């Protein structure tokens, strides 16, 4: 592989490295529309594997897939004041059909609460209609930002959005926990990406929600992204859209609602966190190709090697694999598949055929092993688990290294880390941290305040708090 085809910068130059890996490895590319991306087949295959797991988990708890229009009439979009104020700067509007002005402007879906809940009011009438749980896999358009970054920050992206309605707040809160558990499972058990679960501050919650939960991710450059969010909407939207039901006693009540979402930015996170100077490193459970086989032969020994290749292939049926028979030198192929992040490479040459062994190379460490053909399937099966665990543990160490605990706001000096503090909960102290360039990340569910006093004002601390700079 030529230098032009491969990655030409080290990962320490993170921004340029990231763009090169995403594009040269065939995950995504920029399009003719500013800020919008083309998700290429290799990148889309990763999304399909994520989607398959999430979809199965949703359905196992009674969520059904549906589809709602991507165009939202202005009168519906503006029905909930806080919601429209939160999203209005990002909304793209359709104002004409051909040369004819529309009677009413149509918002291109930045999120679907309003168009969906107008329909919920028709479908929910009785306690027998509850719980009402739907999900849609769709595209989203949010227009306001200046510096696009493939997967991490684009004007159009893919996601799923779940919307649920319940008779009681307790049922709604249980649904929130299940949704967050689904997302956490995907990040940690499929993507090998550690996440921090917690609650957003009131100033940073979803527009129109009573409160919001998040899974936060620390990136290699010290910045952060929201990996997924879960929102409890209370009865705010049900009152606005008149979503009422008759309970078992014949009384009319408003439903309690949630919304929750997971987007293609997860692909950007896993590539950024696991990759190295050679390119991507894909966690085995979401790798479109888990094992690539590179035969090594000359014209004299090709028949012998290819005959042995059939035996090797017979051991790979349980995996997603590919045999690379292109007319390229083996070294070029090695570099090509390393760039694309395939977890395991098998090298099969005449010496392997003579000894009934296969050379196995793992992408995460580069370690080589010669494995008897009879043991190959079980060896790869165990190796894929080992690679996943190694990637997760490395990512956890990276997250810990980029998290700094401080006791005073005067200690804020590094822009490339996440800060962990004790916090009194006041908006004034939150604003002072914003002035330093850091936004509130979350109040973690599994951590206590690291000290008794707020790191800004010195008053008694109520919460542990993470702060970061976000994509």
392 assigned to some structural domain: no
245 plus 303 within the same structural domain: no
133 plus 256 within the same structural domain: yes
**pLDDT score recorded for residue 147:** 82
**pLDDT score recorded for residue 340:** 98
- Residue 288 CA: distances (Å) to CA of 47, 158, 173: 10, 18, 35
Which of these three, 231, 250, 274, is where a domain ends?
274
* CA triple 220-222-223, angle to 5 deg: 105
235: domain CATH number? Answer: 3.30.930.10
371 plus 437 within the same structural domain: no
117 plus 163 within the same structural domain: yes
1 assigned to some structural domain: no
pTM score of the predicted model: 0.95
d(CA 203, CA 211): 10
pLDDT by residue for the chain (471 residues), tens digit each?
Answer: 665 789 999 999 999 999 999 999 999 999 999 999 999 999 999 999 999 999 999 999 999 999 999 999 999 988 866 766 767 788 999 999 999 999 999 999 999 999 999 999 999 999 999 999 999 999 999 987 778 899 999 999 999 999 999 999 999 999 999 999 999 999 999 999 999 999 999 999 998 899 999 999 999 999 999 999 999 999 999 999 999 999 999 999 999 999 999 999 999 999 999 999 999 999 999 999 999 999 999 999 999 999 999 999 999 999 999 999 999 999 999 999 999 999 999 999 999 999 999 999 999 999 999 999 999 999 999 999 999 999 999 999 999 999 999 999 999 999 999 999 999 999 999 999 999 999 999 999 999 999 999 999 999 999 999 999 999
279 assigned to some structural domain: no
**pLDDT score recorded for residue 84:** 67
Range(s) of the domain holding residue 93? 14-274
d(CA 143, CA 177): 31
Beta bridge partners of 172: none
128 assigned to some structural domain: yes
The token pair that represents 128 in the structure block: 């027998």
Which of these three, 213, 245, 274, is where a domain ends?
274
219 plus 302 within the same structural domain: no
**pLDDT score recorded for residue 419:** 98
179 in Cβ contact with 46 (< 8 Å):
no
**Which residues lie closer than 8 Å to 179 by C-beta, 6 or more apart?**
162, 230, 258, 260
333 plus 206 within the same structural domain: no
270 plus 295 within the same structural domain: no
d(CA 399, CA 393): 10
79 plus 197 within the same structural domain: yes
**pLDDT score recorded for residue 83:** 66
Beta bridge partners of 292: 322, 345
450 in Cβ contact with 420 (< 8 Å):
yes
344: domain CATH number? Answer: 3.40.50.800
Residue with tokens 């979350």: 442
**pLDDT score recorded for residue 81:** 64
6 assigned to some structural domain: no
d(CA 454, CA 462): 8
349 plus 410 within the same structural domain: no
Rg (CA), the chain: 25
157 assigned to some structural domain: yes
DSSP assignment letter at 149 = B
The token pair that represents 343 in the structure block: 């977890």
d(CA 279, CA 213): 33
Which of these three, 382, 413, 435, is where a domain ends?
382
The token pair that represents 283 in the structure block: 């966690």
**Number of structural domains in the chain:** 3
389 assigned to some structural domain: no
175 plus 262 within the same structural domain: yes
280 assigned to some structural domain: no
446: domain CATH number? Answer: 3.30.110.30
Beta bridge partners of 253: 245
111 plus 202 within the same structural domain: yes
201 plus 311 within the same structural domain: no
d(CA 7, CA 254): 56
């Amino acid at each position: 592989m030529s230098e032009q085809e491969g990655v030409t910068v080290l990962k320490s130059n993170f921004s340029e490295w990231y763009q090169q890996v995403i594009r040269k490895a065939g995950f995504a590319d920029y399009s003719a529309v500013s800020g919008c991306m083309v998700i290429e087949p290799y990148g889309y295959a990763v999304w399909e594997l994520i989607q398959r797991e999430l979809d199965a988990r949703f359905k196992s708890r009674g969520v059904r897939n549906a589809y709602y229009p991507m165009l939202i009439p202005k009168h519906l979009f503006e029905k909930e004041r806080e919601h429209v104020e939160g999203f209005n700067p990002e909304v793209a509007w359709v104002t004409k059909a051909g040369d004819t002005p529309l009677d009413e402007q149509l918002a291109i879906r930045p999120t679907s609460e309003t168009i969906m809940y107008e329909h919920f009011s028709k479908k929910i009438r009785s306690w027998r209609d509850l719980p009402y749980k739907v999900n849609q896999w769709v595209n989203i358009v949010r227009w306001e930002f200046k510096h696009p970054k493939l997967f991490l920050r684009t004007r159009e992206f893919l996601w799923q959005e779940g919307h649920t309605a319940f008779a009681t707040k307790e049922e709604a809160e249980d649904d929130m926990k299940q949704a967050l558990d689904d997302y956490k499972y995907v990040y940690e058990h499929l993507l090998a990406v550690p996440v921090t679960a917690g609650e957003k501050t009131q100033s940073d919650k979803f527009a129109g929600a009573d409160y919001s939960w998040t899974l936060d991710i620390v990136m290699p450059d010290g910045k952060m992204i929201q990996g997924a969010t879960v929102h409890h909407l209370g009865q705010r939207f049900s009152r606005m859209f008149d979503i009422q039901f008759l309970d078992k006693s014949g009384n009319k009540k408003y439903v309690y609602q949630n919304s929750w979402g997971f987007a293609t930015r997860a692909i950007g996170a896993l590539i950024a966190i696991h990759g190295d100077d050679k390119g991507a490193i894909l966690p085995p459970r979401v790798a479109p190709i888990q094992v690539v086989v590179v035969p090594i032969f000359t014209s004299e020994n090709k028949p012998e090697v290819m005959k042995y290749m059939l035996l090797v292939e017979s051991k790979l049926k349980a995996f997603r694999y590919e045999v690379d028979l292109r007319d390229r030198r083996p070294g070029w192929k090695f570099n090509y598949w390393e760039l694309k992040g395939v977890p395991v490479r098998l090298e099969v040459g005449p010496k392997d055929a003579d000894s009934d062994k296969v050379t196995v190379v793992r992408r995460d460490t580069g370690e080589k092993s010669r494995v008897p053909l009879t043991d190959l399937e079980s060896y790869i099966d165990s190796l894929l688990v080992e690679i996943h665990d190694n990637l997760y543990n490395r990512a956890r160490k990276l997250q810990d290294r980029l998290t700094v605990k401080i006791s005073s706001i005067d200690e804020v000096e590094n822009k490339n880390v996440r800060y962990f503090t004790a916090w009194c909960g006041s908006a004034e102290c939150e604003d002072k941290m914003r002035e330093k360039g850091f936004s509130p990340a979350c109040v973690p569910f599994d951590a206590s305040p690291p000290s008794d006093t707020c790191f800004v004002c010195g008053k008694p601390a109520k919460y542990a708090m993470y702060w970061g700079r976000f994509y």
